[in-house]
Amino acid sequence: MSKKCQVLVVGAGPGGYVAAIRAGQLGLKTIIVEGEKAGGTCLIRGCIPSKALIHAANRFHALAEHAKSDGHMGITIPGPAELNMAATIGWKEDIVDKLNKGVEHLLKAAGVELIQGWAEFMDAKTVKVGKEVIEAEHVILANGSVPIELPFMKYSGNVISSREALNLEQVPEHLVVVGGGYIGLELGITFRLLGSEVTILEALDSVLPIFDKELRRPLEITLKKLKIKVETGVFAKGVEEVEGRTKVFYISKDAAEDAEPLELIADKVLVTVGRKPTSQGLEPTGVVLDERGFVKVDQKCQTNMSGVFAIGDVCDAGEMLAHVASHQGEMVAEIIAGHDRIYDPVAVPAIVFTEPEIVSVGLSPDQATEAGHPIIVGKFPIGANGRALTQNAEKLGGFVRVVAREDDHRILGIQAVGAHISELVGEWTLALEMGALLEDVAATIHAHPTMTEMTHEAVLATLGHAIHSV
């Protein structure tokens, strides 16, 4: 059996399904192929389920505060909260299923045909899915990415990736996290709040090294308060199963060559050392990969093969973020329909959903200085915002920081750390995308009482006249 279409999308993640829906809206006959559930890594086994568990962990931890003898916020409960991890996972899966069905409905409403199965490429524009052969005029590769597996720590048994961690139906007594990046820290803090002892092993000199020390500081304080053990400057060397648990071997980067490795006993070992593109099986397409396995594309996400595009985590354009994939998916569908589009964002927001959250869009002070900009910087503390206080958001500390050019006051970047701070990033990204000046934001009335007022105040601080801080 064979089918023909104008657009074939391989992978129904946040890039693929958006590309397919937009192509369908534009009147293009579109087929999308997905080997698992529509929604991809972000919706099914990444962003959404992890944020659900993070929320559940914070609720559980907050109830523990209320159970203390003097309570919290004047609220007390008669005894400690109890956790049924299997039920929590079930609640998380209900959210995932609801969103999965929503994506399938949206595809259908746009006239897109969803085919379940794995696409096997026969050539650049022909794939085989089971017994069906699909020929397309245009192909969009949205294959996504998978966790990197360490050769000396293969995923099996007690050695798990983020995917397995999000489905644990029992809270491990001791969780060892290999890798102090955003995934490791998000899940490490989550399981600590759920009751696990947590140890983080990081090869570099600090966790979250992509952020500057000022942004990391409130998070590092929280890690200490939660009694999460963080070992920096160490390399994991291997594991050994010991009576149902796992012995983890690691060594300091400063250790002598003949030094004996250090040891930890863990119930689960979560390896979060990054992700790699799912680009295997693309050889018949003729698309060119770079040395890391990413599909090489131009500013239109076009590969070296005419009519073949690649978006999201599998391509070498942009960060490996769901919102980047979605943006590229919409863009490519419009390019195929004849619109003039290129991938050239002014700024892409990055968020770490730790406790507290860390957000960055645009240039940090160091990056702006290195780029040759004369800068001015202003900050506003979360503890000075009324709405933050009413939500107990100030307990983790934090601030909003604005970076602007000194000469023309053009905003170059905004960073922040604190509870619930991620919800403010839309305004910041829009400000950079539209080339806003400090005066543009300063003259904008921000509703009271809201946390968005912190953006206004941080801009005023950059101008040298904040109202609610000194």
Cα 259 vs. chain centroid, distance in angstroms? 37
Q: Identify the CA nearest to 15 among candidates 48, 40, 35.
A: 40
Catalytic (active site) residue 323: no
Q: Are strands 30-34 and 113-116 parallel, antiparallel or unpaired?
A: parallel
Residue 427: name the closest of 406, 463, 458, 382 by CA.
458
CB 422 within 8 A of CB 381: no
Phi then psi for residue 47, to 5 deg, are -55, -55
Count of residues in the chain: 470
CA dihedral 392→395→398→399, nearest 10 degrees, is 40
- 438 neighbors 414 (Cβ within 8 angstroms): no
Name the active-site residue from 420, 448, 456, 468: 448
95 CB-near residues (< 8 Å, 6+ apart): 48, 49, 52
DSSP string, 211-246: S-HHHHHHHHHHHHHTT-EEEESEEEEEEEEETTEE
| Cα dihedral 193/194/198/200 (nearest 10) | -70
Catalytic positions: 448
